[in-house]
Amino acid sequence: MGAITGGISLSQASDLQERCANNVCDGADADAIDEMNTLANVSNVSFAVAGAGVIVAAVGIILSDWSTEQHGHLQLVVEPGGLGLRGQF
């Protein structure tokens, strides 16, 4: 989600730079600027939440008393669409 909203925001910023001379826009572009800023913020928050989730998961795995006899197994999955965890508990 972060990459998608970030890409859209960058595209909108590029469009605005072409329309706004010397980075000065008229009032007609106010809505486009607000939308670009909102998408940029959504992108940033999405990356922060994802990063926090990775850290929490890593700390949980590292600090847990993990043995396959008691709890099952956990496997890191690398796929074209991204990374994931697969487990059996």
User: Burial letters for 16-43: b for 16+ Cβ neighbours within 10 Å, e otherwise?
Assistant: eeeeeeeeeeeeeeeebeeebeebbebb
Longest dimension (CA), the chain: 66
- Pair of tokens at residue 63: 């600090």
The whole-number pLDDT of residue 18 equals 87
Instruction: Give the pTM.
Output: 0.61
Orientation of helix 2-19 relative to helix 30-63, angle to 10° = 150
Task: List, run by run, the mean pLDDT of 10-residue segments along the chain (89 residues).
Answer: 87 88 85 91 91 87 64 74 75
The whole-number pLDDT of residue 69 equals 56
Helix and strand tally (H, E) in the chain?
A: 3, 2
